[in-house]
Structure 1
Amino acid sequence: MLACATRIRTSSSVRKLGRAYADLAKKDIVFELERPTIATLQGFLLLSDFEATSARDRIGWTYNGIACRLIFDLGLHEDCSRLIRHGILVPADADLRVSLFLSAFVFDRLWALYLGRPSCVPISCLEKRRPQPTLAKPTGPLEHWVTLCKYISKVTEKLNGFGPSLDHTCVDSLLDLSARISAAHDRLPPGLSSKHTSELCVTAYGLNIQYHGIQIVLHRTLVKVLLQHDSSKADGLDHDDQIKGFRRILYDNAVCICQLLLTYREMFGVENFITVMLDNMYIAASTLVSHILQPPIMGEQDGSYCEASRLLGFLTETMRDPPKYYPVVEKMRQTLSRITENTILASSFGSMNLSSGTQNPDSHNIMANTVAQPVSVSWGSMGALVHDDFLLGQGNLLVMDSARTPGSVTTSGFLT
């Protein structure tokens, strides 16, 4: 808890204590695993989040997995109404157990989304433990996070290779899933909906940003599928019109993410960004880069280029301060710097310095660890961005040469 708290301090000396606190917590891991309690599970979730923002995604994902195993070891997936009837638990204890179970479920699904790896908590367990909302007790942010993460589960199942391979026959099902996600987003109540920004609760910014982020992940996949199957059509639309429409949706969602981040930054400061904001800031930035670097034949002449450039400038400016609080942002910035080399955006993210002190051991062999990852990966690594972005994976679209000859840029083998 102290390690996570140091991240939001403006004092550099206090922030430096974060790693020391985390290391102290790790010394008790064996003891805690032999005598696990609810606090043990909470501790692993916090360690997971701390390591994620420290650009140590591998160890962070592992700690999250331990926390999810403890759900079942501690019986948090079980209905405890009988224990309440017998006086073994009081209702407040039962509510805490449900909230912790749901929180761990959300952590699990977000890790699965961002790393493209299997989730740990079966969706069937969720339905047994999820409380039914009542008119007397309005649902809070956690319930809406759970709803979103149920849809994220469906997305990751489709995109991470856990089901049939994606081809043009899956377009309709992906569009249906996108429509259901949009409907759930539209149903957010005042205070949690970004449609009412003046009333937006501080805890709802991340929720709305993630709704836009998952739409970007989904529509990138739709574009990739259509690019790979030129003959596919839906609803009588021309193939190129479909792609153009999906790219517009990508752009619109990136704009929404930027607007929410801008409002949040002005009201609360970058030091109070939460993890999902960092991840989706990265997604929005790569989407804007793609929009700006589209070939002229696909570009839209509606002024969006200027708007995209302005918003990308906001994101690059925003990325300058968070590394002091969240080292993973420096990793993301370096990735974007490398991916835009030899383009008109080459200077947008500064020079790439892989020997920087902020780099961690997990990133020394980036491509070896991410080259085989599914297309839904969206993390602060070079390989993840190449796989995740529908346009940046096309090396010939990144070169400044107006001829745009295929294969003209390979960027050390990352783009082919």
Structure 2
Amino acid sequence: MATKVVRGKRKRAVSPGKKKFIQKKRRGEIKHKKKLGKISFDLTRITKGHIEPGDLPIIESPVAHFDDFKLDERIKKNLAHRNLLHPTPIQGLTIPVILEGRDVIGVANTGTGKTAAFLLPLIHKTLKNPNHRTLIIAPTRELAEQIDREFRLFAHGLRIGSVVCIGGTYLDEQIRTLARNPHFVIGTPGRLLDLIERKKLDVRNFQAVVLDEVDRMLDMGFLKDVKKMLLQISKPRLLLFFSATMPKLISELAAQFLQDPLTFTVKPRATSQNVIQDVIRVGKKDVKIDLLHQLLLDRDFSKVIIFGRTKRGVEHLARQLTERGFRVDAIHGDKTQSARSRALKRFTRDEVQVLVATDVAARGLDIPDVTHVINYDIPETYDDYVHRIGRTGRAGKKGIALTFVDADFDK
């Protein structure tokens, strides 16, 4: 009797690190926010165009020019080539201290120049000592890739290598690159821990470790994995924490591992100054997708990020807009890494007008010249709202953030 062959979609292999993560989640060891839970969002905080009353005053950088830093001249040349002349406040505060070898906690929102704040002094240290190695841990694949892109621009022509270790890409290729001992290893906690357990990555020999977006790692349940890696790294080593907020668990983690750190908090009014915020009330007789359609026909809406709360909702909205003739891509957790990278590249190059995204998939993205952010689904928390609208109005440019709400949402 012939064997019946069932044809279907080929399943991607699940890495050991991912399996362990799933098992922990099932046992209840990892607590996630319930993304579809009760929304704790105060609409009055945005209807008048203000992030929040009592914003701190704008903080100026204590260093006026990149030439004033004690950085290698080749790094300054690469900065000048990109027309980067003046450091942001977080860069002006932290770069001199990192150059001195002090542990640092940097509390600042995305879009404030955090990536350059740690990359520039660490590249300088590598040029002074070719054996200096840096491990950078990021919560999402997209952020890890973005950090690597920034690294390659700053380290152009300097013979300093890097490798990105993230899921959804070829593991064998990452292992081969690691065997060449690159100066910078940039990755997500799951893939890094997987490589450590396979004995393909030895974290004991890193002289510097950066944890970027630590608060998001906490939200995603990665803190135990991060702690496990930090315990393996030999002392003395330089440890840098960067986060938008400092919840109690992160403060405890910092107290456990950092040695006499200096803390810098940069919370300027840049978001409320550069981003015009407003709401669009959707009446009972209105069709939400039609209202969105009318907005996107406006020529000023040339580069738009639209946020949804669920992966399914994001995919459905992207399909609807495509059917209506708009150039659209989407990023969410069910997309393969290559598909997400391709979508981001197309959006960055203006090959598509609209990028529809979930909060987690878009975390930390730094895409230039985004004209509008649209909250098609209202964010669950105020922190999520601040993160979303921070995708526009970056680098001193103006942006617009619009939030769709039911007509009786706050009644």
**Shorter-chain TM-score range:** under 0.3
More strand by share: 2
Structure 1 length normalisation: TM-score? 0.26
